[in-house]
Amino acid sequence: MTRETFINKQSEAEKQIRQHCISFGLIYAVWLAMLIAIPCLLAFAYCSFYFHTKFVARAVIAGELIFCVLAILVANHFYKRNVLRWVRYALKCPSCRRSLVFLLRWQVEEIAEGRCPHCQETIVDS
């Protein structure tokens, strides 16, 4: 493939990934927030039983725990969906099948020379 067609395919793949994938940072933030919240809520639940608080407080804590677990399950679903979409949309090297989108600076220099940054096979005709 020529350099121009490769650049066009690479930019189109990056555009598709940006349009159809949620940021992995957002998913990791939800995981982190819920993994911090769950132990705190469990401690509150223990204290509510220890100090014999009213049923309403216990129900609120139980509801918040259920929300945290559901948020983690939804984040897992979106993570798996993002990974599958990344694999589908990403431009791949024909020989090693590794992704050639969103590369680091030294990898872009390898691509500019016409080689795959992972396996050093020629992918772009000069």
pLDDT by residue for the chain (126 residues), tens only, comes to 787 888 888 888 888 888 888 888 999 999 999 999 999 999 988 888 888 888 888 899 999 999 999 999 999 999 999 888 888 888 888 888 888 887 777 887 877 788 888 888 888 776
Residue 39 covered by a domain: yes
Whether 75 is covered by a domain: the verdict is: yes
What string of DSSP letters covers 37-57? HHHHHHHHHHHHHHTT--HHH
Q: What is the pLDDT of residue 116?
A: 84
Flag whether 81 is in a domain.
Answer: yes
Considering the domain boundaries, does residue 111 fall inside one? no
* E strand or H helix at 11: helix 3-20
Question: pLDDT value at position 22?
Answer: 82
Does the predicted model carry a pTM greater than 0.85? Answer: no
59 is in which domain, residue-wise? 22-90
Evaluate whether residue 42 is within a structural domain.
yes
Q: Is residue 44 part of a domain?
A: yes
Q: According to the model, what pLDDT value does residue 100 have?
A: 83
Buried b (16+ CB within 10 A) or exposed e, 51-75: eeeeeeeeeebeebbeebeebbeeb
Does residue 57 form part of some domain?
Answer: yes
- Domain count within the chain: 1
- Inside any domain, residue 125: no
Can you tell me the distance from the alpha carbon of 71 to that of 30, in angstroms, rounded to the nearest whole number?
7
Q: Rounded to an integer, what distance in angstroms lies between the CA atom of residue 73 and that of residue 58?
A: 23
Q: Look at residue 126 in the predicted model and tell me its pLDDT.
A: 62
- Tokens 């132990």 — which residue? 39
